[in-house]
């Protein structure tokens, strides 16, 4: 059975790709790694659309399923006032997020966690995610449904996906869970959805 990015302990050989990326006024340097989403020499288009459209709701943010750190680290660089927490179940993702934070001199909190399991009663103003679709609908459904209990009133879940590759389903689950959802951005079949916790 082949691994997917939601694997806790990837067994694949480690291969790395180094690259720099500019979004807005910031240029960051990354190492992406095999066994972690997304192993490439550039930030994937889905994550990039979220980064480009994210506006903080408050002073804290959780990047859940952070991969090698692209979304969260750019959010922190572009909005340095936020206190950022980054989590992933994948040990390799956590390790490379830490490497990428250090190489860009960004101070963030990084935790190995299966979704919200290690966050206890922490509340955030925003939760941002390019969800682990390869882990299956049940995992993403849990991510969405449990988000509200980890947000301050007025805080928001920001989720990005291809609308016709699961995004439309996730949008419905966000509507059911929060009682609201809106499309913040659309580009090339990709959407950024936002639900506010009231």
pLDDT value of residue 129? 98
Asked if residue 150 is part of any domain, the answer here is yes
pLDDT at 3 over 80: no
The whole-model pTM stands at 0.93
Asked if residue 73 is part of any domain, the answer here is yes
Asked if residue 76 is part of any domain, the answer here is yes
Give dist(CA 25, CA 45) in Å, integer. 18
Structural domain for 185, as ranges: 16-196
Query: Considering all CA atoms of the chain, what is the largest pairwise distance in Å, rounded to the nearest integer?
Result: 45
Asked if residue 9 is part of any domain, the answer here is no
Give dist(CA 101, CA 98) in Å, integer. 5
Q: In sequence order, what E strands does the chain have?
A: 16-23, 26-33, 60-64, 83-88, 109-112, 124-129, 151-162, 182-187, 190-196
Give me the percent of the chain exceeding a pLDDT of 70.
94
Asked if residue 157 is part of any domain, the answer here is yes
Strand duo 109-112 + 83-88: pairing: parallel
Q: What is the CATH number of the domain that holds 67?
A: 3.40.50.150
Contact assessment for residue 101 and residue 37, using Cβ atoms and an 8 Å cutoff: no
pLDDT mean over 157-184: 97
Look at the chain and report how many structural domains it folds into: 1
Asked if residue 2 is part of any domain, the answer here is no
Asked if residue 103 is part of any domain, the answer here is yes
State the DSSP H helix or E strand holding residue 142, giving kind and residue range, or none if neither.
helix 137-147
Asked if residue 133 is part of any domain, the answer here is yes
């Amino acid at each position: 059975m082949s691994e997917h990015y939601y694997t806790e302990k990837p067994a694949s050989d480690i291969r790395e790709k180094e690259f720099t990326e500019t979004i807005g006024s910031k240029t960051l340097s990354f190492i992406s790694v095999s066994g972690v989403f997304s192993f490439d020499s550039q930030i994937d288009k889905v994550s990039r659309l979220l980064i480009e459209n994210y506006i903080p709701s408050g002073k804290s943010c959780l990047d859940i399923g952070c991969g090698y750190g692209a979304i969260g680290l750019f959010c922190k660089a572009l909005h340095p006032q936020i206190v950022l927490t980054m989590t992933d179940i994948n040990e390799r993702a956590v390790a490379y997020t830490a490497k990428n934070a250090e190489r860009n001199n960004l101070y963030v909190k990084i935790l190995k966690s299966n979704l919200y399991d290690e966050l206890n009663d922490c509340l955030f103003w925003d939760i941002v995610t390019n969800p682990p679709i390869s882990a299956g609908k049940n995992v993403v459904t849990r991510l969405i449904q449990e988000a509200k209990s980890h947000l301050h009133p007025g805080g928001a879940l920001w989720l990005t996906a291809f609308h016709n590759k699961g995004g439309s389903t996730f949008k419905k689950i966000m509507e059911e869970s929060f009682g609201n959802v809106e499309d913040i951005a659309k580009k090339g079949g990709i959407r950024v959805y936002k639900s506010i916790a009231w």
